[in-house]
């Protein structure tokens, strides 16, 4: 073992906290002193600032990225039997929400270079039963949203952007929420913008949808005991909103650091590994830096021995999950997603990485390949 062995986590939440500790501690104490824990001014300020960051009219805070997607489908009027197209190489929350509204899950395979939805296949997959598309901005990159919007408009569909991994990402200079009717965010602690528990948000430029989602997120109420409709307890608590508002001020800097680290990897990683590429017209924000190798398991073991944590996002495509066995999908239905599941590996790319750590990771991967 090398004398200069380091211990590098895949995500370092403690390092992130320590970088802004005073501001975080102060705002947590402020919320406790105010005893304003549910809804209220801290949420209102965060929603206003997050909408401004995303360059949209409305942001509605909610309890998780999952509830954000559920709210989006409800806002779009998706109901029993409606077909919703998405991809199989995403977290199950994307499709769980389709089931929540009794919709029909329809998968389209992805591009092997980007792991994002294959737009040509998407266009061919639309049927008379299709009512919505959930585009997943995987790892922090958006696909060709202009073309997808054209497909949506040509077929009178509802477009949801699952931006749980794509805070600050862009296509042709536009963030999630510009092309989609609704965009959904997660603030799970490890995300590009993460809170100290679960949290999420839906953003939109549509006034009517924003109003509906604000009702749905809080029991359909317009005052304490007056309810316009049945809703849910999907609220974001004030403590998470206050923490997120502090972190939001640092987000542009953190994104640029992620992109800088990715640039280092692009320049110096071994030719034996192929990264998920950043395409022209996209601004990739690198929630994860993902490489592809046929020797993934061996490389993971080697890096772990060198103190470097890695991850796989995601090892089992959704169409092969036990939860969806009843849908009748078989191996080979979505070959690109299946191939990626066997070869992808996420390596550390968080903002607090040092030059020494980055060099150590690159050197370790080069040593593995000899």
Q: What is the pLDDT of residues 87-129, one digit of tens each?
A: 999 999 999 999 999 999 999 999 999 999 999 999 999 999 9
Give the C-alpha distances (Å, rounded to integers) separating 368 from 96, 296, 298, 301.
39, 11, 9, 10
Q: Residue 283: name the closest of 181, 183, 139, 187 by CA.
A: 139
Tokens at residue 329, please?
């999908």
- Listed range (2-6, 27-31, 63-67, 360-364) with the worst mean pLDDT: 2-6
Distance CA 213, CA 211 (A): 6
Report the pLDDT value the prediction gives residue 1, as an integer from 0 to 100.
Answer: 41
Helix 355-368 / helix 296-305 crossing angle, nearest 10 deg: 130
pLDDT digits (tens, 9 = 90+) for 44-84: 999 999 999 999 999 999 999 999 999 999 999 999 999 99
Distance CA 106, CA 86 (A): 6
Classify domain 250-368 at the CATH topology level: 3.90.1150
Q: Please give the structure tokens belonging to residue 119.
A: 């737009």
| C-alpha–C-alpha distance, residues 81 and 203, integer Å | 26
Number of helical H runs and strand E runs in the chain: 13, 14
Locate the domains of the chain by residue range: 16-248, 250-368
What pLDDT does residue 156 have? 98
The DSSP letter of residue 346 is: E
CATH 3.40.640.10 corresponds to the domain 16-248: yes
Q: Does residue 117 come out as left (phi exceeding 0), alpha (psi in the -120 to 50 range) or beta?
A: beta
Q: Residue 3: pLDDT above 70?
A: no
């Amino acid at each position: 073992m090398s004398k200069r062995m380091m211990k590098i986590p895949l995500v370092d939440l403690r390092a992130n906290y320590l970088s802004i500790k005073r501001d975080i501690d102060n705002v947590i104490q402020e919320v406790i002193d105010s005893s304003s824990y549910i809804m209220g001014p801290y949420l209102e300020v965060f929603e206003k600032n997050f909408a401004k960051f995303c360059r949209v009219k409305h942001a509605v805070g909610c309890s998780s990225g999952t509830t954000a997607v559920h709210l989006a489908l409800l806002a779009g009027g998706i109901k029993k039997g409606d077909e919703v197209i998405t991809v199989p190489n995403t977290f199950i929350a994307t499709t769980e929400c389709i089931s929540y509204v009794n919709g029909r899950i329809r998968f389209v395979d992805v591009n092997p270079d980007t792991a994002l939805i294959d737009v040509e296949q998407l266009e061919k997959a639309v049927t008379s039963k299709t009512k919505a598309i959930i585009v997943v901005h995987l790892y922090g990159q958006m696909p060709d949203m202009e073309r997808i919007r054209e497909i949506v408009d040509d077929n009178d569909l509802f477009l949801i952007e699952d931006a749980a991994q794509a805070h600050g990402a862009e296509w042709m200079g536009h963030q999630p929420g510009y092309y989609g009717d609704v965009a959904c965010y997660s603030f799970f602690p490890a995300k590009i913008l993460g809170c100290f528990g679960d949290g999420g948000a839906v953003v939109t430029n549509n006034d009517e949808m924003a109003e509906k989602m604000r009702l749905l997120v809080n029991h359909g109420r317009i005052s304490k005991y007056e309810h316009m409709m049945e809703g849910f307890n999907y609220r974001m608590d004030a403590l998470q909103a206050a923490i997120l508002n502090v972190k939001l001020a640092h987000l542009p800097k953190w994104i640029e650091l992620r992109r800088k680290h990715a640039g280092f990897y692009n320049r110096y990683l071994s030719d034996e590994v192929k990264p998920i590429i950043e395409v022209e017209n996209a601004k990739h924000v690198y929630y994860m830096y993902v490489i592809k190798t046929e020797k993934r398991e061996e490389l993971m073991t080697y890096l772990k021995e060198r103190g470097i944590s890695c991850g796989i996002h995601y090892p089992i495509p959704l169409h092969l999950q036990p939860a969806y066995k009843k849908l009748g999908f078989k191996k080979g239905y979505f070959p690109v997603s299946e191939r990626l599941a066997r070869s992808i590996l996420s390596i550390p790319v968080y903002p607090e990485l040092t030059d020494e750590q980055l060099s150590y990771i690159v050197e370790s991967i080069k040593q593995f390949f000899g």
